[in-house]
Amino acid sequence: MKALILAGGFGKRLRPYTTEKPKPLIEVAGKSILKWQIEWLKNYNVDEIVLAVGYLKEKIIEEIGSGRSLGVKVSYVVEEEPLGTGGGLKNGELILRNEKKFLVLNGDIIANFDLSRLINAVSKGVVGSISLVQLPSPYGIVKFDKNDGLIMEFIEKPIISEYWINAGVYCFTPEIFKYLPDKGDIERTAFPKLASEGKLKAVPYKEVLWKSIDTLKDIEEAERMLKGVG
């Protein structure tokens, strides 16, 4: 099976770390985000990976190369200008259009959930499936007695279980390419259209390791999460 990793972004919120290194090569717990992702994908029989690169692409090509050292085959599609997540995926159409299904990952995600559920959710009449995780609060919360105002408990960054967010990992059939813009984000273009046509499935995951690496604080939190898993 093949997977495409969207690895072309600027990673502006991680500067100065991303001044000379693209975000997918930022190290978390001693390993780059890309290497964490490739190892994860290999567990689900993904042996061919397409890297959609742009910003500092030479660094990624130099680090990952053919993928042989990681036990996979890696090919590249290059954005000469920023194309967004939709345009970045569409750039890989020539490589992916003959696949029955393929996975797509944002290049800043570290996760360990069961990808087979995401793959199996794509059945007849469905163009794609989206992984969802429960919303993690960015702040700690305080519980207090509404009658006397006395504080009862402090809870550090709880999961807000009634809300779900896009986890940035997808499975698609090649029909997705009919919905993609040449330039723009898949979340704002293709997904609303597919949802309106009833061709997009949600796959919710509870109590899994998942972290989007957007800031220095996210790196620290991801490292704590990974140590907890180990």
Contact 189, 86 (CB under 8 A): yes
CA distance 65 to 90: 22
CA distance 212 to 133: 11
DSSP codes of every residue in 28-94: ETTEEHHHHHHHHHHTTT--EEEEEE-TTHHHHHHHHTTSGGGTSEEEEEE-SS--HHHHHHHTTHH
Coil/strand/helix, residue 159: strand
CA distance 134 to 145: 26
Catalytic residue among 12, 73, 143, 157: 157
Residue 157 bears catalytic tag: yes
Catalytic residues: 157
